[in-house]
Amino acid sequence: MTSTTEPGTTQVYRVYIKATPEAVWEAITKPEWTEKYLYESRVDYDLRPGGTYRAYPSDAMRVHGAEMGYPIPDVVADGEVVEADPPRKLVQTWRMLMDPTMAAEGFTRLTWELEESEGGVTKLTVIHDLKGAPQTAALVSGAMEHEGAGGGWNAVLSELKTLLETGKPLRG
């Protein structure tokens, strides 16, 4: 599900989901969906060029942060919408704010491509351009999972696929 064009610069993830592109789009961009799979984070998108993107922490994230000895900010990721073509493509900037080192790396570029396939399947490709953001690249690759930082895009996309196909979250 993962390929890397250059170590730490561009990561590409692809998953096939038995759902329409419209359903996948809604699950990516609507808080009532992301709260069910995206580490239970609520997202807020202004889906026009120049619009804002914000991800807010769940209660579970705040508890985990307290247990680990670090505070969780009120916004855990942010960015700006570059292009929105529902339900085919979403391009945005993306910055992780939970860690000062990652926040200092600045914005990366995140592209969501949705393509309808045969049999009611959507091919979802996530392309994350991480030039100049080695800590963020490690996080989203899942390399920091053993440190309690989650499984990165692989985990997020697995959760998304399971939720859309079964109606239930992967965990819990």
| Close Cβ partners of 92 (under 8 Å, ≥ 6 residues apart) | 53, 79, 80, 81, 82, 109, 110, 111
- pLDDT at res. 146: 59
Instruction: Give domain 2-164's CATH superfamily.
Output: START domain (3.30.530.20)
49-93 pLDDT, tens per residue?
A: 999 999 999 888 888 777 877 788 999 999 999 999 999 999 999
96-127 pLDDT, tens per residue?
A: 998 899 999 999 999 999 999 999 999 999 99
Q: Parse the chain into domains and list their residue ranges.
A: 2-164
Residue 6 clears pLDDT 70, i.e. is over it: no
C-beta contacts of 73-80 below 8 A and 24+ residues apart: 73/97, 73/98, 76/41, 77/41, 77/53, 78/52, 78/53, 78/54, 79/52, 79/53, 79/107, 79/110, 80/50, 80/51, 80/52, 80/53, 80/107
120-163 pLDDT, tens per residue?
A: 999 999 999 999 999 999 999 988 765 656 678 999 999 999 99
Residue 29 in tokens = 């961009």
- pLDDT at res. 50: 98
- For residue 117, what are the β-bridge partners? 121
